[in-house]
């Protein structure tokens, strides 16, 4: 049969009537989960409310969180917009969605928020039975942001809030609260804690809060459970999902408190983690605090990150004009570092030449570097050693010419 004959046959085919829309099964398990229906201007909305005292959620460090000062939020988030935030004005948010792929087909069916007040945590979970209720959900959720000073999430900057923003645009809802200062704890943990195998919320919980969730539902199963529950009308299967969302929110509170403590209990930290604390303080221009912590650090030169810590401390003094203090750190670096690096020798030679005016001392430092470099090249002729050798030779020749000129003038 030709293409023309196939098209003619299709045109003669009697169109079938569209099948009537299937009615959604009656919802069951609402009381068991604790969902209550609230009437809004845009229709009914299902909300679950839970309240936890400090004693009920002891591992999540609620009391420590409530004692945080505004400056500590600045340090955790490394953002001056967070400087005046009060613990009771911070809104924690976490979503459960229909998938991680993004796009117009992805939406949040459960949005959980938590606020702390009077030594308790108030959790509200907005549940989406179907997309027709999305406008009611986000219109009501927007009111939760009123009077709040900041938002806290885990990877919310990259996922949760952009998703909420896009859904609000699709529903023509103006959600100004999304523009509040944002404390994304994933970014804070990655900056302050080095060497984790992964930075999933579960891994971070175990490391910082010493919590291992028992019988927690894997996140990958949540979208499928939601679709099946809505299809069947049996919402009882979603109870672990609601509990998962609550635990995520409580973990955010505990992680915030733990991250804040990083700037107080820094004694005994490994060099690489201590460097992260000092860099944060430096970037926020708390130079005195950064140097105080650096001076009292009980790190050994063999530790991973010790060299980077010495480099940062010396560079901090150098930028602020403290060349004498920087020179002491370069000397310590030369004497104690187990691995050879030309950097402290070069910096110390420049200090003696330009700041102390001692050409002989600068040449002596370069001579020591020359001996160390010769040994290093004998063990392993790395290309960086050849680069250091060329730089050393150039600096040494220039200093010798400068020294001869000074002798002639004398």
Q: Tens digits of per-residue pLDDT, 59-76?
A: 888 999 999 999 999 999
Domain that holds residue 63: 30-261
332: CATH: 1.25.40.10
Instruction: Count other Cβ atoms within 10 Å, centred on residue 388.
Output: 23
E strand residue ranges, 31-162:
35-40, 43-53, 90-97, 108-117, 120-127, 150-153
209, 231, 261 — which closes off a domain? 261
Whether residue 301 is found in the same domain as residue 220: no
Instruction: Classify 265 as helix, strand or coil.
Output: coil
Whether residue 224 is found in the same domain as residue 82: yes
**8 A C-beta contact, residue 112 and residue 124:** yes
Whether residue 177 is found in the same domain as residue 291: no
- Asked if residue 349 belongs to a domain, the reply is yes
Those residues whose C-beta lies under 8 Å from the C-beta of residue 208, and which sit 6 or more positions away, are 189, 193, 254, 255, 258, 259
Number of domains in the chain: 2
**8 A C-beta contact, residue 161 and residue 91:** no
Place of tokens 């002891």: 58
**8 A C-beta contact, residue 95 and residue 112:** yes
- Asked if residue 293 belongs to a domain, the reply is yes
Q: What is the pLDDT of residue 21?
A: 44
- Asked if residue 99 belongs to a domain, the reply is yes
Whether residue 45 is found in the same domain as residue 185: yes
**8 A C-beta contact, residue 49 and residue 123:** yes
What own/partner pairs with CB < 8 Å and gap ≥ 24 does 213-218 have? 213/247, 215/240, 216/240, 216/243, 216/244, 216/247, 217/241, 217/244
Q: How far is CA 341 from the centre of its chain?
A: 32
Q: What is the pLDDT of residue 104?
A: 63
DSSP conformation letters of 94-107 = EEEES-SS-STT--
234, 261, 288 — which closes off a domain? 261
Distance between CA 27 and CA 405 in Å, rounded?
94
Whether residue 249 is found in the same domain as residue 376: no
Q: What is the pLDDT of residue 77?
A: 96
Distance between CA 370 and CA 165 in Å, rounded?
60
Whether residue 88 is found in the same domain as residue 183: yes
- Asked if residue 13 belongs to a domain, the reply is no
- Asked if residue 6 belongs to a domain, the reply is no
Distance between CA 108 and CA 223 in Å, rounded?
10
Whether residue 145 is found in the same domain as residue 293: no
Whether residue 129 is found in the same domain as residue 159: yes
Whether residue 255 is found in the same domain as residue 179: yes
Q: What is the pLDDT of residue 43?
A: 92
231, 261, 291 — which closes off a domain? 261
**Cα torsion angle, 322, 326, 327, 328, sign:** positive
Distance between CA 356 and CA 152 in Å, rounded?
50
Q: What is the pLDDT of residue 20?
A: 45
3-state secondary structure labels for all residues of 148-178: CCEEEECCHHHHHHHHHHHHHHHCCCCCHHH
Q: What is the pLDDT of residue 12?
A: 59
Distance between CA 327 and CA 294 in Å, rounded?
15
- Asked if residue 192 belongs to a domain, the reply is yes
254: CATH: 3.30.420.10
Whether residue 248 is found in the same domain as residue 306: no
- Asked if residue 92 belongs to a domain, the reply is yes
Nearest Cα neighbor of 369 from 390, 398, 400 is 390
Whether residue 307 is found in the same domain as residue 250: no
Q: What is the pLDDT of residue 15?
A: 47
- Asked if residue 18 belongs to a domain, the reply is no
Whether residue 98 is found in the same domain as residue 211: yes
**Cα torsion angle, 85, 86, 88, 92, sign:** positive
Spans in the chain with pLDDT lower than 50 = 14-21
């Amino acid at each position: 049969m030709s293409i023309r004959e196939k098209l003619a046959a299709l045109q003669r085919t009697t169109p079938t009537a569209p099948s009537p829309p299937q009615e959604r099964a009656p919802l069951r398990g609402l009381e068991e989960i604790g969902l209550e229906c609230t009437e809004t201007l845009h229709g009914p909305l299902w909300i679950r409310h839970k309240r936890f005292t400090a004693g009920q959620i002891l591992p999540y460090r609620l009391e420590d969180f409530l004692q945080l000062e505004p400056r500590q939020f600045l340090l955790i988030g490394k953002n001056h917009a967070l400087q005046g935030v009060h613990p009771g004005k911070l809104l924690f948010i976490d979503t459960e969605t229909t998938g991680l792929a993004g796009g117009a087909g992805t939406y949040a069916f459960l949005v959980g928020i938590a606020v702390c007040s009077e030594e308790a945590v108030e959790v509200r979970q907005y549940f989406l039975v179907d997309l027709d209720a999305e406008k009611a959900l986000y219109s009501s959720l927007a009111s939760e942001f009123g009077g709040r000073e900041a938002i806290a999430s885990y990877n919310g900057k990259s996922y949760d809030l952009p998703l909420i923003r896009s859904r609000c645009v699709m529903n023509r809802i103006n959600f100004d609260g999304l523009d509040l200062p944002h404390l994304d704890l994933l970014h804070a943990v990655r900056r302050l804690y080095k060497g984790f195998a992964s930075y999933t919320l579960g891994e971070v919980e175990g490391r910082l809060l010493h919590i291992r969730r028992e019988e927690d539902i894997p996140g990958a199963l949540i979208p499928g459970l939601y679709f099946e529950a809505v299809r069947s009308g049996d919402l009882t299967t979603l109870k672990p999902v609601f509990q998962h969302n609550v635990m995520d929110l409580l973990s955010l509170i505990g992680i915030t408190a733990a991250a804040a403590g990083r700037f107080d209990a820094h004694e005994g930290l490994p060099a690489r983690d201590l460097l992260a604390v000092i860099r944060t303080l430096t970037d926020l221009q708390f130079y005195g605090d950064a140097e105080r912590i650096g001076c009292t650090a009980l790190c050994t030169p063999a530790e991973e990150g010790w060299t980077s810590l010495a480099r940062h401390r010396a560079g901090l003094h150098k930028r602020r004009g403290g060349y004498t203090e920087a020179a002491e750190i370069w000397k310590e670096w030369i004497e104690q570092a187990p691995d050879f690096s030309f950097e402290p020798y070069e910096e110390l030679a420049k200090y003696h030449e330009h700041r102390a005016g001692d050409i002989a001392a600068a040449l002596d430092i370069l001579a020591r570097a020359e001996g160390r470099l010769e040994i290093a090249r004998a063990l392993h002729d790395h290309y960086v050693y050849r680069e250091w050798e060329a730089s050393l030779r150039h600096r040494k020749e220039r200093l010798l010419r400068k020294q001869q000129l000074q002798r002639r003038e004398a």
